[in-house]
Amino acid sequence: MTGSYPATRLRRPRSAAWSRALHRETVLTPSDLIWPLFVTEGQGVEEPIATLPGVSRWSLDGIAARAKEAVALGIPCLALFPNTPANLRSDDGAEALNPDNLMCRAIKAIRDACGSDIGVLTDVALDPYTSHGQDGLIDGAGYVLNDDTVAVLVDQAVNQAEAGADIIAPSDMMDGRIRAIRMALELGGHHNVQIMSYAAKYASAFYGPFRDAVGSRGLLKGDKKTYQMDPANGEEALREVALDLAEGADSVMVKPGLPYLDIARRVRERFEVPVFAYQVSGEYAMIEAAVAAGAGERDALVLETLMAFKRAGCAGVLTYHAPLAARLLNA
């Protein structure tokens, strides 16, 4: 740093709103947002999620309406997560491969409503489809089998691509699944379908409300620590990212978000690729709880936290506050 006080007064550029805008290093716009949506069966259905105040599960007509809303707000992409009916969940998660499953029908509903005006990101993992709540196939001891699971994930990814998904987002954390999915997409002619890998997904305490939303919390037997990352590890995240990029990922994700901004920054600086962060359900719920307790103002908290992701180097953020943030940014 050069200069000294009073020749240099760092408050000088902060003295007026126009000057603050002129000197602002980081810019947040609606095009930086991805809106996660939960899909459920039925017609005209909106099911509020108690642990995610302000967030609901929507039937297909509601999902189509949310897609039109996103287009109007300038949100470029939706992320879909299904609440699969209990009678369709099984130990092997076979419903994930059904071309007429809830996820595939939601993709088509968005396409019918908005055409190619919005991107559709789809979750590839088996936890919304398994009766045991794990992200993959399990053996008799409850251990999640890596290679057997990858074989199913490949078919799941192709199923979603054929339904019209733009971005395949494997969230399972199995070793080798990016290469296998990329090869299958290429062989199937889906050359322009992107892969956004959940490359650094941690075994976090912040996922509880999400599991309520997709109906897996009460089903989950054990935990996910044998495949999701240890929150104590940072170097391991860089190894995970390097492998996924080498195997064909177009972009990578860090999950959760705010507690792992150091990881997002390190990934961006090391690899210089698009890095996304997921401001997960527990983070959203904490903001809403703070607002309900009178400890903070929602609009300011939302925009400040989202700006933190951009400042850390993220290309974009998956956030349940996306529509609120877009309205604030468009004002």
Q: Check which CATH number belongs to the domain holding 89 and give it.
A: 3.20.20.70
**Does residue 138 sit within a domain?**
yes
Query: How far apart (Å, rounded) are the C-alpha atoms in residues 161 and 185?
Result: 8
The per-residue pLDDT string of the chain (331 residues; one tens digit each, 9 = 90 and over) reads: 678 999 999 999 999 999 999 999 999 999 999 999 999 999 999 999 999 999 999 999 999 999 999 999 999 999 999 999 999 999 999 999 999 999 999 999 999 999 999 999 999 999 999 999 999 999 999 999 999 999 999 999 999 999 999 999 999 999 999 999 999 999 999 999 999 999 999 999 999 999 999 988 888 878 999 999 999 999 999 999 999 999 999 999 999 999 999 999 999 999 999 999 999 999 999 999 999 999 999 999 999 999 999 999 999 999 999 999 999 999 9
Overall residue count recorded for the chain in this entry: 331
Longest dimension (CA), the chain: 72
Question: What is the extent of the structural domain holding 206?
Answer: 27-330
Q: How many domains does the chain fold into?
A: 1
Residue 19 in any domain: the answer is no
Is 255 assigned a catalytic role?
A: yes
In a domain, 137, yes or no: yes
**Residue at 112 is within a domain:** yes
The answer to whether position 324 is within a domain reads yes
**Full-model pTM:** 0.96
Give CA–CA dist 264/323, Å, rounded: 23
CA distance 203 to 200: 10
Q: What count of other Cβ atoms lies within 10 Å of the Cβ of residue 189?
A: 10
* Strand 194-201 to 167-170 pairing: parallel
Please report whether residue 8 resides in a domain. no
For residue 216, being part of any structural domain is answered with yes
Residue 274 inside a domain? The answer is yes
Q: Point out the catalytic residue in the list 68, 108, 201, 225.
A: 201
Catalytic residue, candidates 68, 224, 255, 310: 255
Q: If you ran DSSP here, which 8-state letter would residue 173 be given? A: -
